[in-house]
């Protein structure tokens, strides 16, 4: 999931002002997140995850990937993201 998709899902086609009130996030902060001016902190990212109907891990990874892209280090950490996501997926048990 991309960061922009997380924001779109969390907003549910609501105006930022209404969504901010319903989420308990300050309106100026949510407006900056929606415009891509700043990225949410962990607490706000978890609220966005709940509103978007995605797991906390998926939302935090979307925010972390966006941060890495903005810092120009995404390619360097891409392997780390893949290993984290694969570690979070349930594994089948081996027959004993």
Domain encompassing residue 60: 3-88
Prediction pTM value: 0.77
Q: Is residue 63 part of a domain?
A: yes
Q: Is residue 95 part of a domain?
A: no
CB atoms closer than 10 angstroms to residue 61: 20
Report residue 96 CA to chain centroid gap. 38
Q: Is residue 41 part of a domain?
A: yes
Token representation of residue 40: 């949410």
Domain count, the chain: 1
Summarised one tens digit per residue, pLDDT across range 20-69 is 999 999 999 999 999 999 999 999 999 999 999 999 999 999 999 899 88
Q: Is residue 69 part of a domain?
A: yes
Residue 7 contacts residue 48 (beta carbons within 8 Å): yes
Q: Give the DSSP H/E element, type plus range, for residue 33.
A: helix 27-35
């Amino acid at each position: 999931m991309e960061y922009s998709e997380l924001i779109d899902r969390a907003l549910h086609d609501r105006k930022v002002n209404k969504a901010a009130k319903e989420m308990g996030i300050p309106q100026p902060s949510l407006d900056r997140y929606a415009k891509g001016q700043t990225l949410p902190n962990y607490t706000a990212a978890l609220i966005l995850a709940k509103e978007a109907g995605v797991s906390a891990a998926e939302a935090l990874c979307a925010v972390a990937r966006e941060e890495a892209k903005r810092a120009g280090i995404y390619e360097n950490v891409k392997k780390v993201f893949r290993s984290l996501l694969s570690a979070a997926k349930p594994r089948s048990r081996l027959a004993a």
